[in-house]
Chain A
Amino acid sequence: MIRATVVLLLAAGPACAQQPATVNATLTAIDGIRVGHHTLAERPTGCTVILVDGRAVAGVAQRGSAPGTRDTDLLLPVNAADRIDAVTLSGGSAFGLDAANGVMRFLDERQSWLTRLTSGMDVPTVSSAVLIDLWVGGKPSIRPDAECGYRAAAAASRAPVAEGSVGAGAGATVGKLTGLDRAMKGGIGSAALALPSGLRVAAIVVVNALGDVVDPSTGAVVAGARNDAGGLADARRLLRAGAALQRTRVAENTTLGVVATNALLTKAEANRVALMADDGIARAVTPAHTSADGDTVFAIATGQWRGAADSSVIGALAADLVAEAIVRAVRQATSVAAVPAARDLK
Chain B
Amino acid sequence: MRTALAVAAASMLVAGAQQSGGPNATLTAVAGIKVGHFTLAERPTGCTVVLVDGDAVGGVSQRGGAPGTRETDLLNPLNMVDKVNAIVLAGGSAFGLEAATGAVRWLEEHNIGWPAGASRVPIVPAAIIFDLGVGGNPKVRPTADCGYKAAAAATSGPAQEGTIGAGAGATVGKLGGPGRSTKSGIGTAAVTLPNGLVVAAIVAVNAVGDIIDPATGKVVAGVRNPDGTFADARKILRSGSIGQPRAGENTTIGVVATNARLSKALAARMALMADDGYARAISPSHTNGDGDTVFSLATGRWDGTADITVIGALAAEVMADAIVRAASQATGVAGIPAARDLRK
Contact = CB atoms under 8 A, between A and B. Distances in A.
Contacts of A215: 217
Nearest to A248: B309
Contact of A316 (B193, B275, B283, B307): B283
A218 B217 contact: yes
Contacts of B245: 310, 312-313
B308 interface: yes
A67 interface: no
Given A219-B216, A287-B312, A313 B237 contact: yes
B313 A287 contact: yes
A247 B275 CA distance: 23
Instruction: Give the size category of A's interface with B.
Output: 35 or more
B238 A320 contact: yes
A74 interface: no
A190 to B, nearest CB: 17
Interface string A273-311: 001101110110011111110000000000000000011
A123 to B, nearest CB: 31
B308 A236 contact: no
Interface string B291-323: 000000000000000011110111011000000
A141 interface: no
A311 to B, nearest CB: 6
Nearest to B286: A276
Given A65-B269, A319-B279, A193 B317 contact: no
B242 interface: yes
A150 to B, nearest CB: 36
B238 A317 contact: yes
A115 interface: no
A63 interface: yes
Interface string A219-258: 1000000000000000110011110010110000000000
Contacts of A312: 65, 208, 244-245, 284, 287-289
Given A287-B316, A310-B244, A310-B245, A245 B284 contact: no
A120 interface: no
B79 interface: no
A156 B308 CA distance: 40
A38 interface: no
A307 to B, nearest CB: 10
B77 interface: no
Contacts, number: 129
Contacts of B242: 313
A341 B312 CA distance: 27
B7 interface: no
Contact of B287 (A245, A276, A290): A276
B21 to A, nearest CB: 21
Nearest to A214: B214
Contact of A216 (B217, B289, B308, B310): B217
Contact of A248 (B195, B288, B307): B307
Given A216-B280, A313-B245, A320-B234, A275 B289 contact: no
A279 B276 CA distance: 7
Interface in B193-217: 193-195, 197, 208-209, 212-217
B279 A282 contact: yes
B309 A290 contact: yes
A289 B63 contact: no
A145 to B, nearest CB: 31
A245 B240 contact: no
Contact of A319 (B193, B284, B309): B284
Contact of A287 (B275, B276, B289): B276
A113 to B, nearest CB: 43
A290 B312 contact: yes
A210 B309 contact: yes
A282 B216 contact: no
A13 interface: no
A272 B240 CA distance: 19
B191 interface: yes
B318 to A, nearest CB: 9
B307 A291 contact: yes
Contact of A247 (B276, B286, B287, B307): B307
Most A CB contacts (10 A, CB to CB) among B244, B272, B284 go to: B284
B214 A219 contact: yes
Contact of B284 (A197, A217, A288, A315): A315
Contacts of A210: 309
Interface string A56-100: 000000010100000000000000000000000000000000000
A340 to B, nearest CB: 24
Contact of A219 (B63, B215, B309): B215
Contacts of B193: 241-242
B182 interface: no
B285 interface: yes
Interface in A25-64: 63
B56 interface: no
21 contacts: A65-B269, A195-B239, A197-B240, A210-B309, A215-B217, A216-B212, A216-B217, A235-B313, A239-B313, A242-B194, A245-B307, A276-B284, A279-B278, A287-B313, A289-B276, A289-B312, A291-B312, A312-B289, A313-B244, A316-B209, A320-B234
Given A195-B239, A279-B285, A290-B313, 18 more contacts: A195-B238, A211-B313, A216-B212, A217-B217, A219-B214, A219-B215, A242-B194, A247-B307, A276-B284, A276-B285, A282-B278, A283-B279, A289-B273, A289-B276, A310-B245, A312-B244, A312-B245, A315-B286
Q: Which 4 A-B pairs have the closest CB atoms?
A: A316-B284, A242-B193, A287-B313, A195-B240
Interface of B: 63, 65, 191, 193-195, 197, 208-209, 212-217, 234, 237-240, 242-245, 269, 272-273, 275-276, 278-280, 283-289, 307-310, 312-314, 316-317
